[in-house]
Structure 1
Amino acid sequence: MKINGNEIRPGNVIMHKDGLYVAVKVDHVKPGKGGAYAQVELKSIIGNTKLNERFRSAETVERVSLEQRDFQFLYAQGDALVFMNTESYEQIELDTDFVGDRAAFLQDGMMVTVEMHEEKPLGIQLPAQVTLEVSDTEPVVKGQTAANSFKPAILENGVKVMVPPFIAIGQKIIVDTEEVTYVRRAD
């Protein structure tokens, strides 16, 4: 879908210079001399490059819609992670690097959202929070207050997080997958 240069908003995905870019920051500039333009900071979706571009209102750019599909995590196979489309039952393999550090939070049967463009996966969203068991931490110390004191804990998936002093080995906790932080004790 074509849009004018002054209609670009943060979060829009556009086709620019034969690549897909997401608009991170947009400033509308009206200089005293000459026409107005939009100063747009673009971040490449595929690579990790950034661009600063000027778009005049008369210029048009191609706005791209990313398709979001639900996939179920099946299993890890070497450096590949296998997911299944819940509607068509087709399976795709994604590199562990594609998911990044958050791959440690994947659990069998977990539902994720994969952003796709022309049948090519571009991004993945895991659930915001997961429940994991604490496999190792320091023992509970009687009389220790919970006022801003945290201790390190290792979870069943090998990830380290800081937890309150009352958390013991074997307890299940809820962890934020984006920030990799303790949220609360699981019920």
Structure 2
Amino acid sequence: MAKIAGNEIRPGTLIQHDGGLWIAVKTQAVKPGKGGAYNQVELKNILTGTKLNERFRSDAAVDEIYLEKKDYQFLYESGDMLTFMDMESYEQIEIEKDFIGERAVFLTDGMKVLVQSYEGKPIGVQIPLQVVLTVTEADPVLRGGTAAPSYKSAVLENGLKIQVPPFIEAGTKVVVATEDGSYVKRAEI
């Protein structure tokens, strides 16, 4: 933890404020005609997701927080819990599935993730932006339809349903974006 001036807060800065951990989403330097300059900051609580707009004067001291970031390997899912292993110490941690949210569907055995912690408590898990998954079912291509390229439904090995180009068949490995579950391209094997 380090003290920074209120006008040094930038988007992405993590601060301790009002007893919570907040990340600066947007900042705007304001120099009013009367009174001192201030930094208008939109904050988001990293644990609850609530937002807050706050003014920080340039002479205000704010506690900047540094997160510990470590590589972990996803081991397995058990009920509502996900188990990860620290790739240096081999120590295992459990994180609730809800904590990762809908992106948990993309976790595969042995996947490397980045776990962000504050005072030993995990507060964020970054999974790869893209993953390779096998198509287990794909709708047949409808012949004689329109000339425009159309997508068809497919089911991936993790049970996720996505839209894929007509040339993708069951058994094909595809690259999928973990942010929104969209098809990116056919995987190069």
Matched residue of 1:162: which SS?
A: strand
Name the residue aligned to 2:74.
Answer: 73
Which range moved further: 95-104 or 136-145?
Answer: 136-145
Give the TM-score of the pair, scaled to structure 2.
0.95
Contact 1:146 1:164 in 2 (8 A): no
Name the residue aligned to 2:35.
Answer: 34
Contact 1:140 1:167 in 2 (8 A): no
Name the residue aligned to 2:126.
Answer: 125
Q: Which amino acid aligns with 2:67?
A: L
Q: Which amino acid aligns with 2:175?
A: I
Which range moved further: 140-149 or 114-123?
Answer: 140-149
Name the residue aligned to 1:97.
Answer: 98
CA distance in 2, matches of 1:78, 1:145: 45
Gaps of 5+ in 1: none
Name the residue aligned to 2:55.
Answer: 54
Name the residue aligned to 1:82.
Answer: 83
Q: CA deviation at 1:166?
A: 1.1
Name the residue aligned to 2:107.
Answer: 106
Segments of 4+ moved more than 2 angstroms: 140-148
1:45-84 per-residue CA deviation (whole Å, 9 max, x = no partner) reads 0112111000000101000011110000111111100000
Q: CA deviation at 1:18?
A: 0.7
Pairing of 1:140-155 with structure 2 (within 5 A): 140-142=141-143, 147-155=148-156
Give the TM-score of the pair, scaled to structure 1.
0.96
Q: CA deviation at 1:165?
A: 1.2
1:175 aligns with 2:176: yes
- The two structures, once aligned, show a CA RMSD in angstroms of 1.4
Q: Which amino acid aligns with 1:139?
A: P
Q: CA deviation at 1:179?
A: 2.2
Matched residue of 2:32: which SS?
A: coil
